[in-house]
């Protein structure tokens, strides 16, 4: 990339033509843009430093998740991470959220173990988020990369270890609720644990009984639902946990439904590769109150590649729009690529999620529904196919323009400049 892409003047003419094209299909482009602007994405903080956190220098990532690659410029301090995030949020159109993990606490020289974290350890994040104009903050207990998480956490046979992680998760919920209050928007606290087994276990039930009991303790304290939402994240397998995962899909779906106040978290990398995450949304939301999405891209396995506007991602957003589920779904991202410029990874993936949502909002929904209702499946198929060639690009460019964000490849110019002037010096 050497030249700056051309921007707004031509985009606006293209936009007007696109708007008219969509109008002939009964699609209200302005309504789509309004919904897109009102849909925050929770951007994950952990793309910037390969899920290391800043509890100590050069933390080792454990828990069966893995970043691969060694691209220069990784953030090595809270200040660097925030500096990077400021650029990220500048290059993403609209107002968004930041999703923090407990390992990103600001201890200001007085560290505590994870069972003792408090809102004050995240106060500088809240101040920063307000100053940066973010929509809100979300939170996650970090039940991995710790000496007490080596064999298991909330399902551990040793009561003392279980209690340590129960205290950590309970403390994390209080931090989430505090974020909700400080930022004035509901904060989601999501519990994911790595507990599982490399080889075939004899006892699959015991750890699940212990996990269910631990979760009951974690969620015992009532927190204001306007400011705080709990979520539990299922998984199929992890590295070193290939044969058994305690918190499987069935386990957490059952738990969320039984509890009634806990959202279910669907991570796009946590299912068999041929399963459709999109198909699960309307099934789960028949019964669960709310959904949290970890939009991700698994390539052959839970590899957490950067999100792209590929068919599976677009299908997820189509389901949210078609089923009118946006209001009951918190959208978060979860991927970590250390092989390319990390800021580009953040920006490309978040914009891809937004573009997928925009494409879903621009579907000729009324025509598709009518064709299906009268049983004209050839027309339905034709509409799907013709939709692929509709002028999404100019509408997306216009959205970027209205939100003072570079359209097309413009963001890469800024990222390349930042790489030269900031990242290369780290
Ligand atoms: C792991 C889960 C979990 C983590 C993050 C860091 O498989 O997807 O969400 O990736 O919390
Ligand atoms: Zn996840």
**Per-residue pLDDT reduced to its tens digit, 204-241:** 999 999 999 999 999 999 999 999 999 999 999 999 99
Ligand 1 near 172 CB (within 6 A): no
Contacts of 306 (CB under 8 A, 6+ apart): 297, 335, 337, 340, 345, 348, 349, 352
Examine the domain organization and report whether 76 and 7 are in the same domain. no
Examine the domain organization and report whether 343 and 279 are in the same domain. yes
End-to-end Cα spacing for the chain:
23
Range of the domain at 171: 40-351
pLDDT at 8: 46
Last residue of a domain, one of 351, 383, 411: 351
Ligand 1 near 233 CB (within 6 A): yes
Residue 286 lies in a domain: yes
Ligand 1 near 44 CB (within 6 A): no
pLDDT at 4: 46
- Interatomic CA distance for residues 423 and 348, integer angstroms: 18
Examine the domain organization and report whether 13 and 134 are in the same domain. no
Examine the domain organization and report whether 195 and 268 are in the same domain. yes
Examine the domain organization and report whether 409 and 295 are in the same domain. no
The residue whose CA is least distant from atom 3 of ligand 1 is 192
Residue 32 lies in a domain: no
Ligand 1 near 192 CB (within 6 A): yes
How far does residue 357's CA lie from ligand 1's centre (Å)? 22
Task: Provide φ and ψ at 262, rounded to 5°.
Answer: -110, 130
Residue 33 lies in a domain: no
Residue 205 lies in a domain: yes
Examine the domain organization and report whether 278 and 379 are in the same domain. no
pLDDT at 11: 55
Residue 215 lies in a domain: yes
Last residue of a domain, one of 302, 321, 351: 351
Examine the domain organization and report whether 296 and 330 are in the same domain. yes
Residue 416 lies in a domain: yes
Examine the domain organization and report whether 102 and 1 are in the same domain. no
What atom of ligand 1 comes closest to residue 302's alpha carbon? 7
- Band the pLDDT of 3: cuts 50, 70, 90: very low
Ligand 1 near 235 CB (within 6 A): yes
Other C-beta atoms closer than 10 Å to the C-beta of 286 total 7
Residue 105 lies in a domain: yes
Examine the domain organization and report whether 299 and 172 are in the same domain. yes
Query: What is the average pLDDT across 364-374?
Result: 98
Which of 266, 295, 334, 337, when mutated, tests ligand 1's pocket best, judged by the most ligand atoms within 8 Å of its CB? 334
In a 13 Å sphere around the CA of 288, the CA atoms on its Cβ side amount to 27
- Domain containing 244 — which CATH number? 3.20.20.150
Distances (CA, A) of 150 to 11, 113, 159: 53, 16, 15
In a 13 Å sphere around the CA of 42, the CA atoms on its Cβ side amount to 26
Examine the domain organization and report whether 387 and 342 are in the same domain. no
Last residue of a domain, one of 351, 381, 407: 351
Ligand 1 near 50 CB (within 6 A): no
Task: Provide φ and ψ at 198, rounded to 5°.
Answer: -65, -45
β 42-44/97-101 pair status = parallel
How far does residue 322's CA lie from ligand 1's centre (Å)? 27
What atom of ligand 1 comes closest to residue 238's alpha carbon? 7
Q: pTM for the full model?
A: 0.96
What is Dmax (Cα atoms) for the chain?
Answer: 67
Q: What is the pLDDT of residues 242-251, one digit of tens each?
A: 999 999 999 9
Query: What is the average pLDDT across 409-425?
Result: 98
- Interatomic CA distance for residues 121 and 123, integer angstroms: 6
Q: How far is CA 365 from the centre of its chain?
A: 26
* Number of residues written out for the chain: 426
Examine the domain organization and report whether 218 and 316 are in the same domain. yes
pLDDT at 268: 98
The residue whose CA is least distant from atom 7 of ligand 1 is 65
Cβ contact 181:130 at 8 Å = no
Other C-beta atoms closer than 10 Å to the C-beta of 338 total 17
Number of structural domains (the chain) is: 2
Positions annotated as catalytic residues are: 192, 233, 235, 267, 270, 294, 302, 304, 334
Q: What is the pLDDT of residues 331-351, one digit of tens each?
A: 999 999 999 999 999 999 999
pLDDT at 10: 55
Residue 357 lies in a domain: no
Please say if the pLDDT value at position 124 is more than 90.
yes
For ligand 2, a single-atom ion, which residues have Cβ within 5 Å?
A: 267, 294, 334
Query: Where do runs of H (alpha helix) occur along 324-376?
Result: 342-361, 365-373
Examine the domain organization and report whether 272 and 401 are in the same domain. no
**Residue 60, both tokens:** 């080792």
Query: What is the average pLDDT across 8-25?
Result: 86
Q: Dihedral through CA 396, CA 400, CA 401, CA 406, nearest 10?
A: -120
């Amino acid at each position: 990339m050497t030249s700056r892409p051309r921007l707004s003047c031509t985009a606006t003419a293209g936009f007007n033509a696109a708007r008219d094209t969509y109008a002939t299909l009964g699609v209200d482009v302005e309504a789509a843009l309004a919904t897109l602007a009102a849909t925050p994405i929770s951007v994950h903080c952990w793309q910037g430093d390969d899920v290391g956190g800043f509890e100590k220098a050069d933390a080792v990532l454990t828990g069966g998740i893995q970043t691969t690659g060694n691209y220069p410029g990784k953030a090595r301090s809270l200040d660097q991470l925030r500096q990077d995030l400021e650029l990220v949020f500048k290059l993403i159109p609209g107002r968004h959220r930041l999703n923090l993990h407990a390992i990103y606490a600001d201890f200001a020289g007085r560290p505590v173990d994870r069972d003792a974290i408090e809102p004050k350890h995240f106060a500088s994040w809240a101040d920063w988020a307000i100053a940066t104009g973010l929509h809100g903050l979300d939170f996650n207990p970090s039940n991995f990369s710790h000496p007490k998480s080596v064999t298991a956490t909330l399902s551990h046979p040793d009561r003392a270890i279980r209690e340590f992680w129960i205290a950590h998760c309970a403390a994390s919920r209080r931090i989430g609720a505090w974020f909700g209050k400080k930022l004035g928007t509901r904060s989601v606290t999501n519990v994911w644990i790595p507990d599982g087994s490399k080889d075939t276990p004899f006892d699959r039930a015991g750890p699940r009984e212990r996990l269910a009991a631990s979760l009951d303790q974690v969620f015992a304290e009532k927190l204001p639902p306007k400011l705080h939402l709990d979520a539990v994240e299922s998984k199929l397998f992890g590295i070193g946990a290939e044969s058994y995962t305690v918190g499987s899909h069935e386990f957490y779906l059952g738990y969320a439904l039984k509890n009634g106040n806990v959202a279910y978290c669907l991570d796009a990398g946590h299912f068999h590769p041929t399963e459709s995450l999109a198909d699960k949304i309307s099934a789960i939301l028949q019964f669960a109150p709310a959904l949290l999405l970890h939009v991700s891209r698994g390539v052959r396995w839970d590899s957490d590649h950067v999100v792209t506007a590929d068919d599976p991602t677009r299908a997820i957003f189509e389901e949210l729009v078609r089923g009118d589920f946006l209001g009951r779904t918190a959208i978060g991202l979860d991927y970590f690529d250390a092989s390319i410029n990390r800021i580009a990874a953040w920006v490309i993936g978040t914009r891809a999620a937004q573009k997928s949502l925009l494409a879903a909002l621009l579907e000729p929904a009324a025509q598709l529904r009518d064709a299906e209702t009268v049983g004209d499946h050839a027309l339905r198929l034709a509409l799907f196919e013709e939709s692929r060639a509709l002028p999404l690009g100019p509408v997306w460019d216009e959205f970027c323009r209205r939100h003072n964000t570079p359209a097309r490849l413009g963001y890469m110019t800024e990222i390349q400049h930042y790489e030269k002037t900031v990242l290369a010096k780290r």
